[in-house]
Amino acid sequence: MQAGDTLRYTKISLVHGSGAMPALGFGTLIPDPVATKQAIKTALEVGFRHFDCAERYRNEEAVGAAMQEVFKVGKVRRQDVFVTTKIWNTNHRPDRVKPAFEASRQRLRLDYIDCYLIHTPFAFQPGAEQDPRDEHGQIIYDSGVTLLDTWQALESLVDEGICKSIGLSDISLEKAQEIVGAARIKPAVVQVEAHPYLPQWELLDFCRRQGIVLLAFAALGHGMEPKLVEHPVITAIARRVNKTPAQVVLAWAIQRGTALLTTSTLPRYIQENFEVSTLPDDAVQEISDSVTTRVRFNPVVETGVPGFIPRAL
Ligand SMILES: NC(=O)c1ccc[n+]([C@@H]2O[C@H](COP(=O)([O-])OP(=O)(O)OC[C@H]3O[C@@H](n4cnc5c(N)ncnc54)[C@H](OP(=O)(O)O)[C@@H]3O)[C@@H](O)[C@H]2O)c1
């Protein structure tokens, strides 16, 4: 690491909504609550100050418990941490939005949420079953609500001051444009899968012009094949700059102007992923130009069905 390098502390001020998002974020899609709690505590201790949660992950209690334990020690304060959570597809009806938000907020044991996202643009049949299916095993969608209806209910949460910003997730450029065009409070954040195999340049350009943070999930490609950390362009740069391939991929994400999410339950990976530092500009350019493999690992964007979840929930 270069002395004084501050890349890991990069914060992106929100143009829509208030606050600033640390670019380096830790994801909480970890099925086991004990492992979740331990990973969050480790992530806070090594320095992560941005956490991405969701009611769909069914572990907000464990995330909340871990944060409270760390806050109690006194070295990290609530206001130093940026917490995002997401409303699930079964709660898109406007009358379900505030109860879903409040339930997440209480499970997370927080008095406000920094950013509340619509997890996917697909509304499912309302109810307690997160994956409502018919007798043929097909997801039951809800045609009685539009994405804009849900968006307007999220705007009310910002008006009430219990949520500092709102945004979209798993969204196409076209749908994002639609909401941006109609919104009273514009999305502060758009969370989508993004990494060198799926750079999302067009969406990133739109987000930049609109003052929206593009938050890249699966920044390390979900750890799936073909492995990003084994791509020859990445490994050659890693050797050249004396960093690990994961650190190279994460630095690229920050230096091209996105925020990112990465996840691990292994303390050594959590530490490694926080210890990113600035890449030379030519290395950033080389990744953008020379990694030409194109893979979308997560099909949730097509149907709203979490057909791919990296570990069984
Ligand atoms: N909006 C959405 O629909 C959506 C969808 C998916 C995810 N997300 C969010 O994005 C977060 C991040 O996604 P993700 O979990 O796929 O992130 P990721 O960081 O791309 O992938 C995690 C995988 O990479 C491996 N890994 C982590 N650090 C590594 C390192 N330094 N070297 C080598 N391998 C490493 C992990 O291995 P180990 O398992 O061995 O630690 C794990 O298998 C999620 O937790 C969630 O918050 C959102």
Q: What is the pLDDT of residue 302?
A: 87
Q: What is the pLDDT of residue 156?
A: 98
> Which residue from 51, 86, 217, 260 has its CB within 8 A of the most atoms of ligand 1, so it is best to mutate?
217
Sequence-distant (6+) residues with CB within 8 A of 62 are 33, 34, 36, 37, 40
Sequence-distant (6+) residues with CB within 8 A of 182 are 148, 151
Six token digits for residue 202: 């067009």
Please state, in angstroms and rounded to a whole number, the distance separating the CA atoms of residues 75 and 53.
22
Task: Say if residue 199 is preceded by a cis peptide, omega within 30 of 0.
Answer: no
State in Å: Cα 160 to ligand 1 middle.
33
Is the predicted pLDDT of residue 22 greater than 70, yes or no?
yes
Q: What is the pLDDT of residue 24?
A: 98
pLDDT digits (tens, 9 = 90+) for 93-117: 999 999 999 999 999 999 999 999 9
- Say whether 57 is catalytic: yes
Name the residue with the closest Cα to ligand 1, atom 29: 269
Which residues, judged by CB distance below 6 Å to any ligand atom, belong to the binding site of ligand 1?
27-29, 52, 169-170, 191, 217-223, 229, 246, 261-266, 269, 272-273, 298, 300, 310
Name the residue with the closest Cα to ligand 1, atom 5: 217
Does residue 263 contact residue 237 with C-beta atoms inside 8 Å? no
Is the predicted pLDDT of residue 311 greater than 50, yes or no?
no
Q: Any bridge partners for residue 193, and if so which? A: 217
To the nearest 10°, report the CA torsion of 308, 310, 311, 313.
Answer: -40
Q: What is the pLDDT of residue 310?
A: 43
Name the residue with the closest Cα to ligand 1, atom 14: 218
Give kind and range of the element (H or E) at residue 262: strand 259-262
Whole-angstrom CA distances from 115 to 24, 27, 65, 83, 277 are 15, 14, 19, 7, 26
User: Which ligand 1 atom lies nearest to the CA of residue 195?
Assistant: 20
Six token digits for residue 176: 């994002």
Pairing relationship of beta strands 82-87 and 20-22 according to DSSP bridges: unpaired
> What is the average pLDDT across 242-247?
98
State in Å: Cα 79 to ligand 1 middle.
25
Look over the chain and give the mean of its residue pLDDT values, rounded to a whole number. 96
Q: What is the pLDDT of residue 6?
A: 98
Is the predicted pLDDT of residue 1 greater than 90, yes or no?
no
Is the predicted pLDDT of residue 313 greater than 50, yes or no?
no
Name the residue with the closest Cα to ligand 1, atom 41: 264
State in Å: Cα 252 to ligand 1 middle.
16
Is the predicted pLDDT of residue 126 greater than 50, yes or no?
yes
pLDDT digits (tens, 9 = 90+) for 50-88: 999 999 999 999 999 999 999 999 999 999 999 999 999
Please state, in angstroms and rounded to a whole number, the distance separating the CA atoms of residues 276 and 78.
24
Six token digits for residue 282: 């030519």
Q: How confident is the model at residue 193 (pLDDT cuts 50, 70, 90)?
A: very high
State in Å: Cα 28 to ligand 1 middle.
9
Please state, in angstroms and rounded to a whole number, the distance separating the CA atoms of residues 309 and 222.
9
Six token digits for residue 172: 């196409």
Please state, in angstroms and rounded to a whole number, the distance separating the CA atoms of residues 10 and 137.
45
User: Which ligand 1 atom lies nearest to the CA of residue 54?
Assistant: 47
Is the predicted pLDDT of residue 305 greater than 90, yes or no?
no
Q: What is the pLDDT of residue 307?
A: 58
Q: pLDDT over 90 for what percent of the chain?
A: 94
Please state, in angstroms and rounded to a whole number, the distance separating the CA atoms of residues 145 and 126.
10
Does residue 21 contact residue 50 with C-beta atoms inside 8 Å? yes
To the nearest 10°, report the CA torsion of 299, 304, 310, 313.
Answer: -150
Q: What is the pLDDT of residue 306?
A: 76
Is the predicted pLDDT of residue 312 greater than 60, yes or no?
no
